[in-house]
Structure 1
Amino acid sequence: MQLIGMMDSPFVRRVAVSMAVLEIPFEHRSLSVFRHFDQFREINPTVKAPTFIDDDGTQLIDSTLILDYLDQRAAPEERLMPQDPTVRRHALHLIGFALAACEKTVQIVYERNLRPQDKQHAPWLERLQTQLAAAYGTLERDVATAGAGAWLCGGRLTQADITVAVAWRFTQHILPGAIEPARYPALAALSARAEALPAFVGAPLE
């Protein structure tokens, strides 16, 4: 199995961390969709990260679809998505807002770094920042409700914890100061706890 993409992408990193937790061995090919565009295109013509290649050569793209496939390979008791419908719904709620935070972070970075300054649209950036803060505000309330030292969907690490923690670390890394940790203490604590786990340490944000 191969996972292609840079760990500075939260979408790549959530797959890598999940595979480590599930103890699924894989080869990581650290290709950038920018710096290695032509090389990446030879593998996947859409140049989308993450790209996952199974042992038989089948390609999967989109982190959520990749993770769904990998989760189904695991025994039910080891899966990262909860099996109980109510708990699963809560996990999907958390994952959805975390992925929204990732998307808004990426949009802000692209607007600031890829568009010439005189072409940047201040109202659009303000809207993105508002959406980003709203996503983390929702997650902060949910994480705080779970309680200090608790995982978000029961007594063990799930995909909700992985995705929320990866999203938080990504925003803090690539947009320092945009979301102040002091205003989101529950999220900051969850992130610190998750980032100390071997699966996270083994997939460092590049």
Structure 2
Amino acid sequence: MILIGRNLSPFVRRTAAALNLLGLRYTQRPFSTVDNATEIRSFNPLGRVPALVMEDGEVLVDSAAILDALDDLAGPDRALVPRGGAARRAVLRANALATGATEKVVAAYYESRRPEALRWADNLAKQIGQAQAGFAALDQLAESGGWLCGEAPTLADLTAVARLDFADVVLPDLAAERFPALSALRDRANALEAIGSTRWQA
């Protein structure tokens, strides 16, 4: 399999970490949406990452669809999202909080990059507040000192870790020292080779 995209994107990164945790072999083409737009569109006409080229040549796009396919390949005993019941709902809820927080981080980042005269301060504050609220909810889940939803890392953990690291890169003041339990979980996760090896290095 071939993973398209670089790990600065938290969507690419959680996919790479999932491939590692599931023991699925792949190579990576660390294309940037800025510098390699033409190459990326040859895999995804939307020009977005990640894309995953399967062994038979099929190309999957969007990290949610890719991760669902990876769970299917790994089988129910190793899947990163439980197959059903309360355990599945818990992982999906935590994953949705982490994904929503990321969407707000991205929106705040782009708003912050506008020329100051064109910047919408109220919108920037709203986006930052929503992102922080999502991280605060995850921080509460992490207070147990274990993983977010059980005794082993799930998709929720991969998403949360990738998102918090991403926020620290693009908007370092957004999360700085505000979420100690979530930060501790991030550190435990990054200590695992499968996850830490995917951390973005500028």
Q: Shorter-chain TM-score category?
A: over 0.9
**How do 1:1-206 and structure 2 match up within 5 A?**
1-113=1-113, 115-144=114-143, 147-148=144-145, 150-181=146-177, 183-206=178-201
What amino acid is the match of 1:170?
Answer: F
Within 2, Cα distance between the matches of 1:75 and 1:38?
35
SS at match of 2:60: strand
Name the SS of the counterpart of 1:178 in structure 2: helix
In 2: Cα distance, 1:151 partner to 1:39 partner:
37
Instruction: Measure the CA separation in 1 of the matches of 2:141 and 2:147.
Output: 11
Q: Give % identity.
A: 35
In structure 1, stretches of 5+ residues that fail to align are: none
Question: Under a length normalisation based on structure 1, what TM-score does the superposition of the two structures give?
Answer: 0.93
1:82·1:153 contact (CA, 8 Å) conserved in 2?
A: no
Q: How many residues align?
A: 201
Deviating beyond 6 angstroms after TM superposition, the runs of 4 or more aligned structure 1 residues are none
SS of the aligned residue for 2:174 comes to coil
Where structure 2 has 5 or more consecutive residues not aligned to the other structure, the ranges are: none
Q: Is the 8 A contact 1:3 1:27 kept in 2?
A: yes
With a CA cutoff of 8 Å and minimum separation of 6, indicate the structure with the bigger relative contact order.
Answer: 1
Q: TM-score, with normalisation over the residues of structure 2?
A: 0.94
- Following superposition, the deviation at residue 117 of structure 1 comes to 2.3
What SS class does the counterpart of residue 156 from structure 1 fall into? coil
Once residues 166 and 92 of structure 1 are traced to their aligned partners in structure 2, the CA distance between those partners, rounded to angstroms, is 16
- CA offset at residue 135 of structure 1? 0.7
